[in-house]
Structure 1
């Protein structure tokens, strides 16, 4: 398969921007999008590769160097997650797919005993020094290396989108959380993934990306309910100008903003184990 090009992305962003402006009182803006699309097609760099796909394991080895950047969705996602975990009483909390320990560090700061699990040794190596009293284990979301009912609550942030199937991951979260415990799951919003968003980062040899799997909101809800979890709430915070940091943000900034700002950025699920 030929890697996607920067020009293809720019044309797509112009088209999305035009669609969102189609029925607005914005004739000049629509004309600008059409004119800029013509210019994009004539750009000498439009055939530049957008990025090379790498698999999850190799991708996180490379991405670990810059993961604490922070990433473009962190601010939007964090503002929606914190109010849902702040009321939790101090206890043992699982940070599933903990990465470099972003939420582990926050949870430890609120008095929790943290158990972090991630499939990437490179990410875990960066997480451990941040929380010296934490327990960090290598493992997968669909096969958590924990005993049944061994934690009081769990967080899983921006990770389920790497899985082709959600069912086993939700079943594992339900298995390891004690009865009466809470689970918060955040993820890249399916709308963005359907539009072609991938996990983009600066790789070893230039732009790179890890492919994301599109799941409908109903897929998350079904997987949670089938695992025996109760849905207590859901939020869909939208993309801000800062969060819409795509490869086209500096190349065609007006189109990039018109295309993306205001679209749902992440989905945050608040769940309970009866």
Structure 2
């Protein structure tokens, strides 16, 4: 593939990802979960916070609306560019969870939404959270456990194979179920965990469902015939208003000592 082709492919991939994120962010249960994460941060007007893995910046903008001085950090230059274009007055920076572009004890809130399953070293990331958080600051971690996707199908054995295989393609697929112990082990106090289950029954999340099978097929774990049959069933279910995806989302919150 030529350099130009790779650039076009990357732009297309990011465009599709942003579209999917926008759709997911607008789902009422997602709106409610973001609001709950802000409550758990216990931020007051004038406080400061970092949103790690901010993506296109929606949470940062919502925190700004709450009079919080929020900083959005993401590893993707493309995502940061989109966020800056959408909210030019907000503060967005390129960085990663292991090395945040912040000073010691600079913020009173640390938020990471669907980030820790992408990290190979969660303890190192929480050490960085400890560094940037002021004493008494709050952290909130949000994420799905990739082994606990519930998808209705006429092919339960294949579905089980697809879900678990997709989990193993993720750097840290079971990070969310470990939030409590990770936070306790990193010296946080007042550690609590909540579970919010999203239930999706229309076409909104069809792309996510078929994308799981696509990744597993691309990894050579299921055959083309299995992939075609399984995705055809999910597409048919969506068209007939019979799609069913239940997605438990874990929310870990804690206070820095």
- Among 121, 126, 140, the alignment partner of 1:170 is 126
Q: Is the 8 A contact 1:77 1:186 kept in 2?
A: no
Q: Is the 8 A contact 2:194 2:251 kept in 1?
A: yes
Cα distance between partner residues in 1 of 2:11 and 2:171: 15
Please report how far the alpha carbon of residue 181 of structure 1 lies from its aligned counterpart in structure 2 after TM superposition: 1.0
Aligned match of 1:265: 248
Aligned match of 2:3: none
Aligned match of 1:82: 35
Structure 1: gaps (5+ residues): 1-56, 200-209
Q: Which has the higher contact order (CA 8 A, sep 6+)?
A: 1
Comparing 158-167 with 75-84, which one deviates more in the overlay?
A: 75-84
Please report how far the alpha carbon of residue 137 of structure 1 lies from its aligned counterpart in structure 2 after TM superposition: 1.2
**Count of aligned pairs between the two proteins:** 204
Q: Is the 8 A contact 2:114 2:142 kept in 1?
A: yes
Deviations 1:86-108 (A, max 9, x none): 44202111111111002111101
Deviations 1:163-187 (A, max 9, x none): 1231111111121111111111101
Structure 2: gaps (5+ residues): 1-9, 150-159, 211-230
Please report how far the alpha carbon of residue 140 of structure 1 lies from its aligned counterpart in structure 2 after TM superposition: 0.8
Q: With the length of structure 1 as denominator, give the TM-score of the two structures.
A: 0.64
Select the structure of larger CA radius of gyration: 1
Q: With the length of structure 2 as denominator, give the TM-score of the two structures.
A: 0.67
Q: Is the 8 A contact 2:144 2:176 kept in 1?
A: no
Q: Is the 8 A contact 1:96 1:117 kept in 2?
A: yes
Aligned match of 2:237: 252
Structure with bigger helix share is 2
Change (3 A) 1:108 1:227: same
Aligned match of 2:194: 235
